[in-house]
A and B are shown apart, each in its own frame.
Chain A
Amino acid sequence: MGTAFVVLILVAMVAAIVRYMIKARKRGEHIGCGGDCGSCHGGCHK
């Protein structure tokens, strides 16, 4: 039971991360970029 609960949390966490990354990609962002987008204002993803 405990294992199933932990696995469920883990799966939800991974799903949330993947969803976040897909959404970010659609917004034209890239999670792999180390930030400081102020100096390129997302131009690198266009």
Chain B
Amino acid sequence: MGIRIALAGNPNCGKTTLFNALTGSNQFVGNWPGVTVEYKEGKYKSNKEVTIVDLPGIYSLSPYTLEEVVSRNYLIDQKPEAIINVIDGTNLERNLYLTTQVVELGIPVVIAINMMDVVEKNGDKINTAKLSEEIGVPVVEISALKNRGLKEIVDCAIKAAREADPQSPKHRFAGSVEHAFAHIEELCLHDMTDENVQRWYAIKLFERDEKIQEKLGLSQDVIAHINKDIESCEKELDDDAESIITGERYNYIGTIINGCVKKAAKGMTTSDKIDQVVTNRWLALPIFAIVMYLVYYISVTTVGGWATDWANDGVFGDGWHLFAIGTSAYTEDADEYAGNQLIVDGYDAYVEENGKKPTGDFEYPVEDEETLEVTYETASLEDYKEAKSYMDSTEEPDPADYGIWIPGVPVFVESALDAAHCNDVVKSLILDGIVAGVGAVLGFVPQILILFIFLAFLEACGYMARVAFIMDRIFRKFGLSGKSFIPMLIGTGCGIPGIMASRTIESDRDRKMTIMTTTFIPCGAKLPFIAMVAGAIFGGASWVAPSAYFLGIGAIIISGIMLKKTKLFAGDPAPFVMELPAYHWPTLGNVLRSMWERGWSFIKKAGTIILLSTIVIWFLTFFGMVDGSIQMLEEDQIDVSFLATVGKAFAWLFAPLGFGNWQATVASVTGLVAKENIVGTLGIIYGASGDVYATMAAAFTAASGFAFLAFNLLCAPCFAAMGAIKREMNNTKWFWTAIGYQCGFAWIVALICYQVGKVFTGEGFTFGTIFGIAGICLIVYGLVRKDKYNAK
């Protein structure tokens, strides 16, 4: 028969790390509460008959939070064969509070003291034999991160499960409390055969736990009778029942700690010293801003930018030289060849235009590769002669002559299709549709992976937990809870788990507000279009990508303040308790695993939903009604395509935002399927006119480009995230309120970015600027107006 072993413990004590180590799973490990919202199961690697259950982290078995309800219900209803109570060895006192309750459940318990490596490093000593004796259950020292003691703890739990002889709790409460328990047991629990279970229920009834009263189906008479016993005890001990139990438990823990733990005398730890700076009242925010700026700068602009350039120009472009050997020599020769060709072409164009040869200097056009801007240069007849002689004597440089040349995917696919004598329509579908669309998305994989490495590192080392703490301090000033920031931290990977994490927020109003604003933070899927806008419209400026992150955070804070002042969301902020873990170097494996999980799902999406989307987008882009019949269009005809027709019908909506062209409109709409589609769609549409970045740079100004970025960052998320919003809201009206707010807010912010941005980018003050200023006034009014609901 199978054995189920539950892992129970405080948040952030290493349960999920232990679970992953025991089962070989890749469950997400986070440094903040709420990472595990529901329990999850996995088979023990060394014995498939053993199922390990990871429960949400809890501080007690009282039903105050969702995690406590989930964990408690599992333990009392599902009754696992054994419990491994995971304890953070660096903080025994607080962790043992849960232990005193777990051992009362009537289920065999073994204690795993985790993080023993840190305990030893700190010079502390724990007498585990004595601890085991005091609590009455086996105690094993482990380090889940370093794979130490894992076999021993599971063997111990299996043994306890097989023996099925639960420990009797050694802790006894004060006489009057025990007396009350006895009365309660006799009154309504005497049918239970297990004395331990009887005792646990008696304690909960003593604490006036309504959920347990309800579960046992107690009548009002019985409850009134129990209350009399409790009140008499409360009178005697001069405290309320719950505080009596808590106080007694901590007294008991105090005696255990005194007898079993020896703390090394020491001053401030390294973590404390770092925290003095990192969480400093004045320095915390600037440090956070610098850290995130660096993360995005390195991921998108420098290292990530170089890697993505290689992916876009090489793998999904013409090709690349292996190890870049020969690239510089080839580029030099190719530039020289192109320069001479321009002069010769300019001369020929002059002759064709004027019907005669130039007698002196002549002008020839030069198109900027990045902006498509055409400028005119002057060449003399001497220049022409030199250029002509060069062209006659030189062949166009072949990259293969300069090193080992690996053709890019489009080149390779095109030559394969040519070899197969493929029809032009199918060839266009594959090259202009699938390869251009999916390639545009996959080209950003290097940037995505680098960003995910940084985020995984910041999460695992403990910094992101500090960010939640810093944000709580700021949020609380505006009547918001820092608990709302946790889903946003999780949402940097993907908005859906972020939306899910809002379940841990007890206040229904705060929870709904968090769901509405979580997706403002740029998720992994939004990074490609952020990078695309930065690269194409802003010439790779380093401030663009970090600004998207700060715009997301700003939108969350502004929305939070504005919404909190409305009747729908008014109310006190939910309390937020979180422990700041000691800083530590994350293991390389954990960081890489986290990166790969997120990165792989991005690649998987590109190969499935994005690929299907590109087929549809290609059809709608390259087909249209011409002379009353559906025809395949030439590249210069796509302005009459089906997609253009649809885009033009909605483009007016975006005209005030500066991107009222059909291309940007349809990209924003297809982004609702998956945000990567924005890049895929623009890759197909602008790819049809030549170079994607160059065409895009020509289609947007700085102001309209940033407005495009702002709108797509803040508007409704992808359909999958919308589905999660609908499920979590569990109400159609609320769902549409959320989507409506996101789109409305995004529209106003984009309007401000464009209309006011125009003034600063030299486009001047126009009539539309007045509306931009009106948008600013509207937001400022929302921020500063009287808070009449919360004032009550």
Contact = CB atoms under 8 A, between A and B. Distances in A.
B589 to A, nearest CB: 15
A43 B598 contact: no
A12 interface: no
Nearest to B499: A44
B508 interface: no
A35 B37 contact: no
A32 B615 contact: no
Given A6-B430, A10-B430, A32-B673, A44 B612 contact: no
Interface string B21-63: 0000011111000011110100000000000000000000000
Interface in B699-713: none
A33 B523 CA distance: 11
A21 B609 contact: yes
Interface in A1-46: 1-3, 5-7, 10, 13-14, 17-18, 20-21, 30-41, 43-44, 46
Contacts of B598: 34-36
Contact of A33 (B430, B601, B612): B601
Interface stretch (B154-162, B324-332, B414-422, B730-738): B414-422
Nearest to B593: A38
Nearest to A2: B420
B144 interface: no
B494 A35 contact: yes
A26 B426 CA distance: 32
A34 B524 contact: yes
A43 to B, nearest CB: 5
B421 A31 contact: no
A41 B735 CA distance: 23
Contacts of B28: 36-39
Name which of A14, A39, A40, A43 has the most chain B CB atoms within 10 A of its CB: A39
A19 B103 CA distance: 49
A14 to B, nearest CB: 7
Contacts of B608: 17, 20-21, 31
Kindly state the interface size class of chain B when it binds its partner.
35 or more
B192 interface: no
Nearest to B722: A32
A38 B40 CA distance: 10
A45 to B, nearest CB: 8
A40 B496 contact: yes
B760 interface: no
A2 B600 CA distance: 33
A1 B421 CA distance: 8
A34 B609 contact: no
Interface in B494-540: 494-497, 499-501, 523-525
Contacts of B605: 31-32, 34
Interface in B577-610: 597-598, 600-602, 604-605, 607-609
Given A6-B430, A36-B28, A44 B611 contact: no
Nearest to A7: B426
Interface in B410-461: 417, 419-423, 426, 429-430
Contacts of A1: 421
A3 B421 contact: yes
B399 interface: no
Contact of B523 (A7, A13, A21, A34): A34
Interface in B469-508: 490, 493-497, 499-501
20 contacts: A2-B419, A3-B423, A5-B420, A6-B417, A10-B429, A30-B720, A32-B674, A32-B719, A34-B523, A34-B602, A35-B598, A35-B600, A36-B497, A38-B26, A38-B28, A39-B490, A39-B501, A41-B27, A43-B37, A44-B724
Given A34-B598, A35-B602, A41-B40, 15 more contacts: A2-B421, A3-B422, A6-B430, A7-B426, A17-B612, A32-B720, A34-B601, A36-B28, A37-B28, A43-B38, A43-B500, A44-B497, A44-B500, A44-B724, A46-B727
